[in-house]
Amino acid sequence: MNWKKLGKSLLFPHIAIRILLIPISATFLICSMIFLDTESVCAITSYALSAYTLMVWCMKIPRLILCIKAFLQQNKYTTKWQQDERLRINVSLYGALVWNTAYALLQLGLGFWHRSFWFYSLAGYYVSLALMRFILVGHTRKYMPGENVTKELIKYRICGIIFLVMNLSLAFIIFFMVYWDRTFHHHEITTITMATYTFASLTVAIVNTVKYKKYNSPVYSASKAISLASASASMLTLESTMLTTFNDGTMSALTRKLFLGISGGIVSIFVIIMAIYMIIKSTKTLNSPNPSKTANR
């Protein structure tokens, strides 16, 4: 038996086999986590199959990266996407604007239906995010970054003011979570998926906040500040969900409320500090003799 050939076949199976392994292992794993005992033979087999699927795809990562890079460099649309920062910002703002508006309308409708201040608070929060993004996309659609710094600073300051107003909705949400114990309960797999998405969003928001500072554009900075504030608030919702979903009865309601109260206070203070910073910085720059030069420092 040619062990070398066998090992190569196991580590680098045909592309058709690798593609088939994804839905098979995913379905097997989900079914075993929901319906089977963790120590059963089928469950252990599903874990092994999932690990094997992950391994064979990881072995192909270097080649996949090279193929993706080659495709991105040769395709005119992907090249434009990589080089045009303004396009990426606009697409991001438009997408987030549509999502925030739709979700705000949903929460507002639920508020009217249930006559609940909880849903009104959520609607106010997402309306604030949508309003800020609408203000910014109106500018980025007309101007290049740095083309009209005075208008950018004005919109930057307006976003800071909206942040302060939005914090009232956020405070109500925190109050309902802590005082009325309004929390979320989902299945464990759904909660893990939410956690993955939330941590990824927060990481991207932090990286982009640092990355876009080099453009010296108040509008770009405001856009990333909105993403950072949104991701921070999502962390609070995630914490509430995880404390409820994974609570096995050992954590008391008082302890859960204490955790949510501390975390909510930190998020609220962070939003207030960011808002005050944006207002003071933009006002100081606008009052300087040359706002364009001052903003680029």
pLDDT value for 297: 53
Q: Is the pTM of this model over 0.75?
A: no
Look-up of token digits 């083309």: 147
pLDDT value for 184: 63
- pLDDT greater than 60 at residue 96: yes
In this prediction, residues 108-132 reach a mean pLDDT of 83
Q: Which long-range contacts (CB under 8 A, 24 or more apart) does 57-63 make?
A: 57/18, 57/22, 59/11, 59/12, 60/12, 60/18
Find, among 20, 21, 17, 48, the residue nearest to 32 by Cα.
48
Residue 99, Cα to own-chain centre: how many angstroms? 12
- pLDDT greater than 70 at residue 228: yes
Give the pLDDT band of residue 205 (cuts 50, 70, 90): confident
- pLDDT greater than 90 at residue 161: yes
Find, among 254, 230, 232, 229, the residue nearest to 243 by Cα.
254
Residue 174, Cα to own-chain centre: how many angstroms? 19
- pLDDT greater than 70 at residue 108: yes
**Between the ranges 138-152, 168-182, 183-197, 270-284, where is the mean pLDDT highest?**
270-284
**Between the ranges 4-13, 35-44, 77-86, 256-265, where is the mean pLDDT highest?**
256-265
Three-class secondary structure assignment of the chain: CCHHHHHHHHHCCCHHHHHHHHHHHHHHHHHHHHHCCCCCHHHHHHHHHHHHHHHHHHCCHHHHHHHHHHHHHHCHHHHHHHHCHHHHHHHHHHHHHHHHHHHHHHHHHHHHHHCCHHHHHHHHHHHHHHHHHHHHHHHHCCCCCCCCHHHHHHHHHHHHHHHHHHHHHHHHHHHHHHHCCCCCCCCHHHHHHHHHHHHHHHHHHHHHHHHHHHHCCHHHHHHHHHHHHHHHHHHHHHHHHHHHHCCCCCCCHHHHHHHHHHHHHHHHHHHHHHHHHHHHHHHHHHCCCCHHHHHCC
Report which of residues 234 and 197 the model is more confident about: 234
Buried b (16+ CB within 10 A) or exposed e, 224-241: bbbbbbbbbbbbbbbbbb
- In a 10 Å sphere around its CB, with 0-12 CB exposed, 13-18 middle and 19+ buried, how is residue 206 labelled? middle
Give the pLDDT band of residue 190 (cuts 50, 70, 90): low
- pLDDT greater than 70 at residue 293: no
> CB–CB of 145/215 below 8 Å?
yes
- pLDDT greater than 60 at residue 295: no
In this prediction, residues 252-267 reach a mean pLDDT of 84
